Every structure is written in C-alpha cells, then in structure tokens.
Structure 1
C-alpha cells in the first residue's frame, strides 16, 4: 500500500455519525435511496460536493510526491492510464496496404470464433479484427457457455494483449537472451532429468482444461514417469471440487440450470459473477425474472452470505451472517427438509423466520428448486447443498453432474503443500512454472519464495515479468490467447478451438510449443493442435476442421464414433516417498466435449449423500474473509487500466482494495472510512485502509486479493495492499482470530459513489411482483408530469429513430457494459488522481443505490448512458454547435468544433458528459494504437465526449442495408453495452418499427423515463425493477416518489 498520508491534502475525512444515521432511518427521515453514508447523513461535505461539478481540490495541483505518482501512472509509455501529453500530437505519414488478402476489405471488420479462458474455463467469443488487428471481443451466440455475452475480464483481454508492459524477450538471470540459448541449456538439463525418470522435475501451471494440452501432458509423463504436474489457481474451485468428491465419491462437476428453477437458495455463492459459468447462469437467472405484464412467472432468490456480492444484491431475501455460520444455516435448512445426518444446531433467533420461509418455498417447488454453495464455503457446506438438492428431487432437472473438465484432478492446495515440501527437501531439480505466479499468490504459510530458491533450475513462462519470473533463472515470454493456437473447454465441457488473430507481437511461444520442446517434437502450435483433432473429427478432416473453426465449438456429431476427448486427465502418480493423494484415481471417460450430459440422474455411488460432521469453529476474535477482487481477480489483471479504474460493484472503489467492514463493527471499533488499521492474523500483520460497507455482516472483515503487487507493470505495481500475506493453505477463504488495530493514520481511497449525484429527483423506481399484479400502473403513478405540454410541434422522423430500453430487473450491476463501451469507443483511462477529482471518462456508468437500514439494505443498480434527449438541454447552450441533433434522433458530437466551454456538461441534468481535461489518450506508443477501433475518433485534450449509441455500428448497418436495397433489420445493430450484457438487460432499436423489441419494451407498463418532468424527452427509458419477496417476509414498499 502507498504511504498512508498520500492524498491527505485533497481528501475529506469522514464525518459520518452512524448512531445519528440509525436514528434518522428509524424515524423514516432522509432519502429513501442513498448512494453513500455521507449522502444519508446529509453532511456539509456532501452538500458542498453536490453544489460543485467536481470534488474539492479539482483546481489544485498535487504536491510533488503525488505528482510523481501521477506521472508514473499516466506516462505515455504506460499508455493505459492517463496523460501522455498536454498538446496535440504531431501528424504522421501512413502507407496504404496495396497487396491486401482477398477477404480483407479496408473499413470492414472480420470476425473470428475463438475462446478466452478465466480460471482455466473457456468462454466462447467472436473477436473483431480490422486489417489483421483484433480490436474488440464479443460473446459467441452459438456457444452454450456465453450465449453471446461476456464478462468484464473477457472484454479487457484486448487491452491485456496490447499492454506494452508485457514480457517481450527471453530473460536469463536478469539479462536479455534468446530462445536458442534457452533451448541449449534446457535440453541438457532435461537429459539429466530423463535419466532419473523425471524424479526431480516439477511442472506448476494454472488450472487448464485444454484437451490438446492434456494429451501433451500424458505424453510428457510417459517420458518422465516420476515427474509431477501441479495445477494451482489462487482463486480456484478448491472447496467446490472437494465437496463434489465427498458427495459423489469421485471427481465430477456440477452443471446448474437456473432457467428451470423457481426457487433458488445461495449459500455464500455469487453465481451471477464469480462462478465458472456465471455468464450463462446470469442469463438464465434473468430469464426467470422478465416480468412484462401481470401474470408473468418470476423466480425467487434467497441468499445467505458473509460478504456483500452482486448475487446478494439481487436477492429477494438476503441473510447477512459470518462465513463460519453459513454451515449452521445450511444444516438447519437440510434438517427441516428431512435430509438425514444434517446435524442441525439451534442457530440464531433472527435466522428463524428467514429459514422457515426458505424451507417452505423449497418444499413447495420440489424438482424446480436449486441450492448452490459458494467456493468460499468449506467442502462440508457443498455436501449439504448437494444433499438438499437430492432430497428435493432436483438432480437431473436443475442440477446435472458431468465429468470434470480440468486436466489435473485432486486437491490443488495439498499439491502445493507437497511441492513446497519437496523443494524444501531438495527433491526438485527443475521447476517449470507455466502462467502461474506462486511467489505472489501461494499461501503464506508455504513460504514458497524461500523454498523455490532451493530449486536447481527455475523456469517461468508467462505474459509478464512478475514476482515469480524475477526469482527464476529463465523467464520466457508467453503468447497471448489471441496470438496462439490451442483449445479449451468451458465449464460444461463444450470445447472450442483457440485460433490466433494476429502473429505474436513479441518473441513469445505458447505452452504447447514449450511442451513440444521438452519432447523434441515440432514446436509449431498450429500443427500440434491440428494433429490432435485430426484423430478425433469425423468425415473429411479439412471440411470438419473449417466447420469447428467457423462455429467456435466442437459439436458432438463431429466426433468420430467410439473416439471421445477425455474431459479430464488423471493426476500424475506421485513418486516415492511422497504420499499419494486419496483422489488421484482416473475418472471414467467423459461424454464428447460439447455434450454437458449428466453422469447419471442420481448421485453416483452411495445413492444418498453422506454429510460429514459439523466443522468445529472457535469463537475467538473477529472473522477474516478473503475474496478475489471483482475487477482484477487474483491479481492477474492488476496491470489492466480498464479494470483498475472500473468502480467495484458494491463499494464503487477504484485503484485500491480496502478493509471492508460493516456499520456495527465500525461503531464498535471506532472506525470511519479512510482510517488505516493493522490486520493481525495468525502471527502475520498487513496494513490497509477501512471502508464501511452497508450490508456487511458484523464481527467480520473482508479483504480483496490481487493487490499489493511488487512486479505487475507500471499500472498495477504498488496499488493497494497484499492480502495474500495473511492467507494460509488451511484457511484459504476465511478464518477466525483476526484482530483489528487502529493506527491513527489516514489513507484517501478513491470512490465514484457520490460522483454524478442528483439530489431530490425521482431516478430509480421499483416494486414487488405482488404489487405489479394488483396495481400494474404503479410506475406511472410515480410520475411528476404525465402529459407535458409543448408549444413546439414534434419533429417527424421519416426514416429511423433510434432508442434504447434498460430493464432494471435484469441488470445485476456487473459493469460489463462499462468495459465493453470503453473497448468499443476508444475511451481512455484517466488515472487514480483524476478519478479522485471526478474526471473519470466512462460513457456509461452504473449507479448503485442503497435502500433501508445500514445492516441489511436493499441494493439497486441503474446503468446511465447519454439519454439522447429529443429536447436536449446540452444542444441549446453550445456556442459553436459541437453537439447537434441528427435526423435519426441522435444527440451527436462534432469533435473538431468543440472548444471546451463545458456549457453542455453543466446543462446536462443526467451528468453523462465527459471532458478531456488532459490528453488522456496515448498517441505515441505503437502497440497501443493497434488495439483501437478505427471507426471511432480518438479525442484530444479540451474536447467533450459522451455515449453515441455506437453510431459507428449504425453507420455500418446503414451502408450494408443500402447496398442490399433493404431496411435495417431489428436486432441487426447491437450497441457494445447491449451485446456484452450477460443478462440481456439492454435493448436497442428503431422506434419507428412497431414490431421492434425496443418498441415492445417501451409499451410495457413498467416503462418510464428518467427526469421526464424536465421535458427533455429522453430516448433511453427504463423498465422499473420488480422483486419477488415472500409475502411472509415482505415489508411494504413505498409508493410515493422515491428520491435518490
């Protein structure tokens, strides 16, 4: 973490009195919806903030230390996070491509089906390419794992590939070297290992589910039978795998069908954003809540969680409780449902009503319910969840068990313990680390870095020269997935061929090519992957090969009869004197990779799940929870400026992690936002700033992993604090015994929660399903002005009239729309200090509102792009006509007219315009320019910008339609935010087409327009959010105007 007093001069210390806030809430005083504790308390600082466009300090230059930090993050060489220059860039000469391939047409992008992986699991994508340069990632609509959508990490892979901080050359003991020099030493040392059967060879990789890599692993282990291959993912599915193994008696994977579930119970599981398959799960969950008219069915969600998540934010009923108490909740529910061996405890009195309501709903929906346990819970909770699903008859309907897709099975944490022990004992002569970064993210109790130094030859293949590479003898640059051939499986077993869109930018190789070097085989990645599938695809191979590349998945009917691709590779047999793991037996052959068929309709083996005894917990001290960061995950995206600047979904913090605590804990400990504390846990101490998060359980603390990087790159290094220093292998997700110590220091965190605040206005509307059934027009009754009168005759649009509708029921607040918009429209990263001044550049923001008490408030999300107002207040004040209205209803920006008066921004009631205070966009670093969308102008300093409804996509579709002599089809144009949204919450289309989806959305009784009382006539409207609370637990919903 940077110095604790950093930013103190421009920061405002929290003056919130939590006791006073509680009294105000008790008396129903203050706003119904609130963004922050400061707004709820109506502090003077917040009122001053509202009166000004930007926070205090925006007109001040920072002190020298902060300025140096500013320039470090914002330098042109970084090209990702800020000011490259404060002047217009010089003109450059360009040379046309005169011998273009036949399929390449300048100005017309091509799309390639491929896959990108996260945590080892693939997401099927379509990548847009301009003249051989990948520029944008979209979901593959034909791929069952993505259904055409993506997550934020997938969107940000473009920036990751073009990151100028990526590893570019082979490094040998700190000096630049070559692949040939490496190959010579590598070959000699491998010869020594081969003579010993590989007894001293260890390979450590990230979790992988590549069929081709699995085959290479088998071949390699045949040559080195005593070698060991370990897979480790710091944010991996350790407890999930263990729970399935305990429940089924074998390795397996669970595949959930949320679209078939009427009642869903989540036990600390963030299935909307943090599980393998979350993109599909989010879509299916949202499909069960698309209420358009009275009588439409709607699912119901119960969530018991130990740290606020987006799944909890969408819950109809949320039970915040400590992580160590979730098991008791699960066992009580299991016992009430008649599950044998649940060993229920009495639980807390305040749980009773919530549990009884959940049990009653589950009982009434046998076979149409679903219970999901989260990775942060121990294996016993997962076993209880599987037992409940079995008791309810959900197996085969909402839950299916399939063969595991990972290449190596077993307990990853135990494998890491054994590896550390082998290194410490001097049993490892060669360690090859592929993609992983164990020096940074291995459990603290393993002391991995110190033991790794005892290895004779240490080799690291990775995208970056990270912490592990600096401790290695050899660092080898690894090719990005968009630069190399490969294949990968999705969470459901669907296989996709990974094809490159561009030649490697640097002198890099893929993992397939490295393994080929080890086996003296062809190092060509294309031939390796192609030869593997040549033995497995049916019919004419060339034709089949082209089909699977084009479709982006391997369909079951394309596999040869009797030949299957194993869904998992057995864990390599350990060599003496190591103790074999109990779960190293090879699983049975899987179904073809793209067939997510269940292994059976019932739990395999025992017929009834045997629930283990309750986990014993001590009650001493507070509870410490570890969670992957929502934006940079386990730290692998720490150098990605898009993700660093993206506000975290619940706290809306950027560029930092924090010590998250609940309001009651803050009161008891005498803590406020920005206070710096020591976290003392199991003899280790880490220091970090406090952030009070409404809804966080009492007596517990949550810290996000992934920060505190020492060698991440110029964007990610030294951001936040390293929570891995407290994380141990026996308590990877939570543990008791934490002590908080207030240091008396202060650290300014940066948050966007009060940016663009609009006081005293009716912005967000919601109701319950019962309310909508009885009172379908409740949304209209909340309007200030039902039929505004105008002296002007409305403009008649004879052609297209574009508009958008956003379904607030479907929106889960995941921020994918923000990143997709940034990638599509060349939106720059401003940097931490600029965000602190309110100068973030996102064209679409996702506002987060709390409602209710501090300890368990309801959470609402609302995406806010430019409203494309028909009577836009920005247009009438621009002195140079830089913002004008098009004949298709768009509020257009003419960048070269803009002189930067900012009158338009001051006059915009929605606060959606963004101004380039500096030259944020880098125009010097060549590799960064490759990733830009050539259809979108890169803006200079002094220019205003905003959402354009992706006008470049509109223009492409208009040209195609005109050439073909037709009108633009409904759905032919999808904005970047619309197509990326995993829940399908955003709909764009032609308002003059009565059959278009957007018109159908706007006909809904739930449709309303933000601030329509101002008579701006926005073209973007919202469908009010609908929740489905259990009547036995529901509280009355306020029907009067709700002000944020």
Structure 2
C-alpha cells in the first residue's frame, strides 16, 4: 500500500497539536496521493464556515467577556460547552460579582435559546424560542441596529442596550446554529465596533481547518467506489457517530485493510482488521493548542498501563521511524524553532505548563456587512433539536461511571438520555400535569415514540420548565453497542436520527405516547425534598434581587429570611478557636450548575459509583450536590443553582446523636468523621437538616481491581459498607498546608488551602479559607451584607454560607 499510496486514507479528529500536524504534513509529502480526512461528531463546522462567510477565510474568534458590558447569546451555551468555555465562564463571572461599596456596575446577559442551559440559567433575560427561529431573531436585531423598526419590544430593548455599549458588547452564536447565524452575529459585532475590542480574530488553531462533514462525505464516496485500499483511523468512532444517511458501515466494510487506534474496543474497532490500543493523553508526551492558540506541552503522569501507542507513534511508524518516541517527536519539532537556548527553554515550559506568549496574534479582519440569504424557516410541526450530552459528550465518555452518575446540569437526571419538552408541549401530546407530578414523585416517566424522517425511536419523555414550545431536545451519545461494561446498552442511540443536511435536527418530528409501563428515571433533584406547604412556604433558601435594588438596600437578604430571630438561644457550648476557623462562602450569582465541583470532589475523595438502581433509591454518594430551583412561570422561570456541601455547623445536629462519637467537632470548627468508629446507626443523617450525609448501604467501593488502585487518592480513606461519610472541607489538604507552614514556622497563608470543589469551579463561585484571618477572602465575604446561612432559623450556625443572587435585568424588559 505504501508503494502505491493513492489508495491510502487517514481519518482523524481535528488536530491542534503542532507536532502531530507536522508529522501529518510530512506523511502527505512522503506518500503522494495519500489523503487526510477529519471528522468529529461534535465538530465546529458551523462556526468555521460562518466565520469564513463573514471574513472570507478560515479564522478563529476569541471572545473577551471580561471587557463586555452587554452580551447577547444566540443559542450559545458559551459558559458550559464549546471551545474556551472555562475561560469564558471565568471572564464572565469576573464582571458579575457584587461586593459592597466596591462594585459600581455589572454586566448584562441576554440568552436566546431553545433548551435551558447553564448560560441561560445565569442570564438576566432568557427568551425561549425554537432553534430555527434564532436566525430570524438575529436578522431582525441586525436591521434594528441599522435603524429599521424593531419587530418586537425585546429586540428594541436589546438593540438600544447594544448601541449604548458600542465596543463593549458581544453577540455570540451557538455551535449548533447554522453558518448564516454566525455570519450575522459577526456582522452585528462589526457594526458595533466589537471586533478588535471584545473580540479578537486570529488564524485557526487547527493545523488544517476543513469542513469535516464534507471531508467525511468525500471519504465515504471513495470507499464506496473502491478507491480506498487502506484506511487508518486515529481516534474517534465513525461507525457509531457518522451521519445516518452516509451508511458509513457499508462503505467501511468495502475497504480491504482497516486499522483503528482507540482507547477502547468500540463499534469502529469491532469492524476493523486491526485494533491498536491508544494511550491516554496523560500516558504520553505531546503538545496542543488551546482555544486562543496558546501551546501547552502535554506531560505524562504515568507510563502506559496497557502497552498503548499514541498517534505520534503510529504516524512515526508509517513514516519509517519505528523507534522515535513521542518525547523525541515533540522535542524534535520545537528544538530547531528555539535554537541554542532550547534546553533551558524546554525546562521552563515543563515547569510552567504552557509556552508563554504563544497565543496566536491578532489579525486584521473586518466582517462582511451584507447578510447572507436566509437558510431556514420555522417548521409547522414539532422541531427536534439534537445536542451532545452534557456529561458523556458524543458518547466517548459513556464508559465512565463518574460521568454517567453525574446529574445533568439542568435536569438532574443520571444514567439516561431523555426527550426534553416544555409543559405545554407535554400537555399537547396528552401528558397532563397531574399525571406527570405523580410519576415524578415515584421516580418514573412515560415512554413515547419519536418519529423523525421515517425513523421511530422509543425514548423516555421529560418535562422541563423554560423549554421552548413546539420543539423537543434529545442528547446523543447513549445507546452504545460496544464501548465497555458500563457504556453498552444504556440509553437510546440518537445517531440514526442525525442526517448530513440537518446535523442539529430539524422540523417534522412527531411524538406519540405508547401504552407501556412507566419508565424508571434516576433523577436526584427531588431526593429528600420537602413540600414547601408543609413548612410554611418559601424558607429563604434562594434570596435574590436586582442590581439597582441592591444598591438601594445591600442588606436585602435579611428581609427575605423565612423566620428571622434577633437572638438565637442555644444549649450548645460556645467553641473557642485559637488557631484556625475554616469556613466557606458560595456565590450562586455566578454558578451555572456545571457540576465541575461535584466530579472534582468525587475524584479527590474516592467517592464510589453506585449505579442507576441505587440512585433511584436515593443512595447516591456525592458529598456535594447542586440543587436547582425555579421561580416564576413554568413557561420561562428564573433558574438558580446552589451547591450544597456539608455546612460544617457550629451547633451541628449530627454530633450529639451519634452513640459512638464517630462524628465530632474539631478544634478548628470542622465536623469530623471517624470512619472506623462508625457503626452505621444513621442517626446523624436523620438529624441533618441539609441532607448532606451519605451512607454506604452496600459494598460500593471496589477494593480489588488493580486498575482502580492508582486512581484513588492515597490521602483519603476508602469507606466500606455500613459507614457514614460526608464532605470534610478536604481536610487532607488542610493538614498538608499546615504541615508545610509548620516546617517554615509560620501561619497558613490565605489561598494556600484550596478545596477540590473550589479548585475546579470555573467561575470562582466557591471561596474557602480561615475566618480567624481578618484579611482572608472568606472573612471579608462573611462580612458582606448579602451573606446569609441556609435555614438560619434552626440555629445550626453553618460555617458554609451563601451570597444573595444579584442580577441586572433591563428595566425596559419585563422578563
């Protein structure tokens, strides 16, 4: 084949590694006629083609949300998904925090979207609409900015707000919107003077940007025609996730030689002649560009466990360099570019983790002012929206138990994908409110037949407030046939409904109830919940106001307290903390509900996975949960996310009821657990008003599987059956910092102890520290007038407290 490379094809995902890209270019030059194709199920084709339409070439857009006063999101969940979303979330939150006598203004966010998202949850104004209607909205906004009469009051108010913030605003389109919407968004940004200010245009971060859908289409055409004699696939799983109308499986089987590099035996591996085990990215050397072009040197943390090979090694072998390691490949690429000082430079890169000043430079660019022609009209029937799953992505993480059991940010569903619809759409198909409420309480829902383009899929139906009417959202990535013990036969495979001319779905869908028993759903939101009517209504758990109202009354949280008391009498003795007094403050104003803190806590503290059946029984083991609350009409309510770890109460109700003192109060204010003393009475859990304690009803932790042992944190005890556990404020990290400080004969400095949840939070919503240090961040936040404890009327005096939610709605808009 290598002697006649015209029949050789290589299929990869998008490559941003400079070294791997150079290897690929070397291979293309070495074997004339060989072709390189790229494909990812969740690609940025729409963004890529939209920017090319706007600027005339493939470019990359970098957004600076820390400079924007007003943001308009056109179906973009820029804080929870997509390139650069962690940086964007941090930058957005930096303009969102409200501090007494310090903050004079905060940003404003308008979110136009079909299905509720993390970005929409923190928006000041959220406008639900079908995905196909976003293009019309964007066009109307553009013309209104140009002086034409606005088509609605919302567009009039948004246009006025944008014009008042020229050069300090951003209009961003979502990855699932067609290229024309991205082009319109850039035309608006150009009109407002945002390009070059809040938006930087650079060269692409990909080595070879290409329309991946058309690249895969060309490959399938060549395979069907018999041109392809050998196909080498590096990563990905096209047999599972290629567009349904491509019939990739039939074309793939026609190739005489098929090899696949992947980290699991997946659907593509099973049809390949050769499967090459791929190294995990932390088992091999490499390099990669970030969303803005900044280069990082990828360093291995461990030698390959299963004799895997990296893409660098595969391409090196094809080029004749069987003995060249990934380490030598990466150094070989960068060495000649640095010259004589390479060794010192290399060591600095490894120490820093990134190559300083390697971000791609800004290029001179101006978006086209003329709008492209309209591409879609809202369909008359139900519109189906297909999106990547928020936890298992395109299916590649389906065999990860942590992610399967991680509640979806907006629905709190685990271990399943469901068809999301609005309450009105559910009523229209015969799923009435009374029936729905009864089933939710029983942790069940109905099944429906979803028919789209002649194909019918049976899927659970789930109603979510705030979803646009007349449409339904379904996440793909489930329904794996081959992918591991956890992944296989879980959920519904949605890829047969994805077609090349409508990758994000389209109109003409039909939803029909089926006469089958109710389907069990593992949703954690209602676990251990209390009917508000039984406790006298709103208990002041979420306290919110607007920024203008906050400026008038920064102590607004006190007026929203459920049962205020001037003084709390107690039988508990006062604690005297002579050294440290650890505490936490959480700011729900910037929490998107992404669950990064939850999975970080699970990794740090060796928390077990229990499975769908146990989650249904309310036995999930997460030490930290994120509660979701609605306020307002079900058609478009305000959404709030509230992380809830252990409150570490001063007057902890769990402590006096333990008959063996397995839970006790430390000299630094922690509510400690002594695992080997616990006899599992569960009195402490019954007495906890916050329901943050977790009990090992069964033997959940696997002590014996060798591959799991290096995964665990050696500083945290692994719990067994019959033992209670809970959040410890990452006491192992506290002790490590105390030991280091003691070596240097000094006090622990503020910021030295960072809990796992705090470390993982992209918006810096969690602050931890020592209250006894008056200059610490947490001590200052405790003095904020918007600081309040949960259920203060119980006199538990939690160490974990919250800041009131402050939003910035436009006074010219009602909602």
- TM-score class, shorter: over 0.9
Q: What do you get for the CA RMSD once the two structures are aligned?
A: 1.4
Aligned CA distance change for structure 1 residues 365 and 719 (closer, same or farther; 3 Å): same
The answer to whether 1:829 aligns with 2:637 is no
Deviates more, 1:740-749 or 1:877-886: 740-749
Cα deviation code 1:207-250 (max 9, x no counterpart)? 12000001001100001221111111111111000100100000
- Which residue does the alignment assign to 1:852? 632
Q: Secondary structure at the match of 2:450?
A: strand
- Which residue does the alignment assign to 2:277? 477
TM-aligned CA deviation for residue 315 of structure 1? 0.8
Deviates more, 1:743-752 or 1:928-937: 743-752
- Which residue does the alignment assign to 2:544? 766
CA–CA distance in 2 between the matches of 1:549 and 1:609? 45
TM-aligned CA deviation for residue 292 of structure 1? 1.0
TM-aligned CA deviation for residue 535 of structure 1? 1.0
Deviates more, 1:939-948 or 1:306-315: 306-315
The answer to whether 1:226 aligns with 2:226 is no
Aligned CA distance change for structure 1 residues 491 and 613 (closer, same or farther; 3 Å): same
Q: Secondary structure at the match of 1:194?
A: coil
The answer to whether 1:291 aligns with 2:98 is yes
CA–CA distance in 2 between the matches of 1:538 and 1:224? 30
Q: Secondary structure at the match of 1:876?
A: coil
Q: Secondary structure at the match of 2:201?
A: strand
Cα deviation code 1:58-83 (max 9, x no counterpart)? xxxxxxxxxxxxxxxxxxxxxxxxxx
TM-aligned CA deviation for residue 362 of structure 1? 0.3
TM-aligned CA deviation for residue 346 of structure 1? 8.2
- Which residue does the alignment assign to 1:194? 2
Cα deviation code 1:704-756 (max 9, x no counterpart)? 01000111111111111011110011101121111112222232221011013
The answer to whether 1:756 aligns with 2:520 is no
Identify the structure with bigger relative contact order (alpha carbons < 8 Å, sequence gap 6+): 1
- Which residue does the alignment assign to 1:722? 493
TM-aligned CA deviation for residue 687 of structure 1? 1.4
CA–CA distance in 1 between the matches of 2:769 and 2:490? 41
- Which residue does the alignment assign to 2:337? 536
CA–CA distance in 2 between the matches of 1:333 and 1:909? 48
Alignment of 1:383-394 (within 5 A): 383-394=183-194
CA–CA distance in 2 between the matches of 1:464 and 1:298? 46
Determine if contact 1:304/1:326 at 8 Å carries over to the other structure: yes
Alignment of 1:400-419 (within 5 A): 400-419=200-219
Q: Secondary structure at the match of 2:181?
A: helix
Determine if contact 2:133/2:377 at 8 Å carries over to the other structure: no
Q: Secondary structure at the match of 2:215?
A: helix
- Which residue does the alignment assign to 1:172? none
CA–CA distance in 2 between the matches of 1:971 and 1:790? 33
Determine if contact 1:514/1:523 at 8 Å carries over to the other structure: no
- Which residue does the alignment assign to 2:439? none
CA–CA distance in 2 between the matches of 1:473 and 1:904? 57
The answer to whether 1:554 aligns with 2:355 is yes
TM-aligned CA deviation for residue 793 of structure 1? 5.2
Aligned CA distance change for structure 1 residues 925 and 410 (closer, same or farther; 3 Å): same
User: Paired residue for 1:377, among 171, 177, 198?
Assistant: 177
Residues paired across the two proteins, number: 793
CA–CA distance in 2 between the matches of 1:550 and 1:890? 35
Determine if contact 1:376/1:734 at 8 Å carries over to the other structure: no
- Which residue does the alignment assign to 1:564? none
CA–CA distance in 1 between the matches of 2:724 and 2:572? 29
User: Paired residue for 2:775, among 980, 983, 995?
Assistant: 995
Alignment of 1:381-530 (within 5 A): 381-521=181-321, 522-530=323-331
TM-aligned CA deviation for residue 528 of structure 1? 1.0
Alignment of 1:38-53 (within 5 A): none
User: Paired residue for 2:481, among 694, 701, 710?
Assistant: 710
Aligned CA distance change for structure 1 residues 809 and 618 (closer, same or farther; 3 Å): closer
TM-aligned CA deviation for residue 539 of structure 1? 4.2
CA–CA distance in 2 between the matches of 1:898 and 1:240? 55
CA–CA distance in 2 between the matches of 1:891 and 1:642? 26
Determine if contact 2:415/2:491 at 8 Å carries over to the other structure: yes
- Which residue does the alignment assign to 2:727? 947
- Which residue does the alignment assign to 2:141? 333
Determine if contact 2:18/2:287 at 8 Å carries over to the other structure: yes
Deviates more, 1:714-723 or 1:791-800: 791-800
User: Paired residue for 1:657, among 397, 401, 417?
Assistant: 417
TM-aligned CA deviation for residue 785 of structure 1? 2.0
TM-aligned CA deviation for residue 609 of structure 1? 3.3
Q: Secondary structure at the match of 1:877?
A: coil
Deviates more, 1:826-835 or 1:617-626: 617-626
Cα deviation code 1:759-816 (max 9, x no counterpart)? 4332111111111011111111223224323365522111001000001112111110
CA–CA distance in 1 between the matches of 2:135 and 2:748? 54
TM-aligned CA deviation for residue 345 of structure 1? 11
TM superposition score normalised by structure 1:
0.75
- Which residue does the alignment assign to 1:690? 461
Q: Secondary structure at the match of 1:919?
A: coil
CA–CA distance in 1 between the matches of 2:124 and 2:374? 28
CA–CA distance in 1 between the matches of 2:272 and 2:701? 35
CA–CA distance in 1 between the matches of 2:149 and 2:808? 29
- Which residue does the alignment assign to 1:209? 16
CA–CA distance in 2 between the matches of 1:841 and 1:266? 35
Determine if contact 2:121/2:640 at 8 Å carries over to the other structure: yes
Unmatched 5+ residue regions in structure 1? 1-192, 557-593, 1036-1044
CA–CA distance in 2 between the matches of 1:775 and 1:684? 57
- Which residue does the alignment assign to 2:401? 641
- Which residue does the alignment assign to 1:314? 122
The answer to whether 1:817 aligns with 2:597 is yes
CA–CA distance in 1 between the matches of 2:272 and 2:330? 29
TM-aligned CA deviation for residue 620 of structure 1? 4.0
- Which residue does the alignment assign to 2:514? 743
- Which residue does the alignment assign to 1:977? 757
TM-aligned CA deviation for residue 618 of structure 1? 6.2
The answer to whether 1:365 aligns with 2:136 is no
CA–CA distance in 2 between the matches of 1:599 and 1:366? 21
User: Paired residue for 1:253, among 60, 84, 89?
Assistant: 60
- Which residue does the alignment assign to 1:671? 431
Determine if contact 2:295/2:359 at 8 Å carries over to the other structure: no
Q: Secondary structure at the match of 2:548?
A: helix
Cα deviation code 1:911-965 (max 9, x no counterpart)? 0000000110000101101110000000010000000000000110111111110
Determine if contact 1:328/1:345 at 8 Å carries over to the other structure: no
- Which residue does the alignment assign to 1:781? 559
Q: Secondary structure at the match of 2:590?
A: coil
Deviates more, 1:406-415 or 1:888-897: 406-415
CA–CA distance in 1 between the matches of 2:124 and 2:288? 36
TM-aligned CA deviation for residue 481 of structure 1? 0.7
User: Paired residue for 1:680, among 427, 451, 462?
Assistant: 451
Determine if contact 2:133/2:378 at 8 Å carries over to the other structure: no
Q: Secondary structure at the match of 1:730?
A: coil
Cα deviation code 1:539-561 (max 9, x no counterpart)? 422111111111111124xxxxx
Determine if contact 2:285/2:299 at 8 Å carries over to the other structure: yes
Cα deviation code 1:94-138 (max 9, x no counterpart)? xxxxxxxxxxxxxxxxxxxxxxxxxxxxxxxxxxxxxxxxxxxxx
Q: Secondary structure at the match of 1:952?
A: helix
CA–CA distance in 2 between the matches of 1:850 and 1:982? 23
Q: Secondary structure at the match of 1:357?
A: helix
Aligned CA distance change for structure 1 residues 1034 and 999 (closer, same or farther; 3 Å): farther
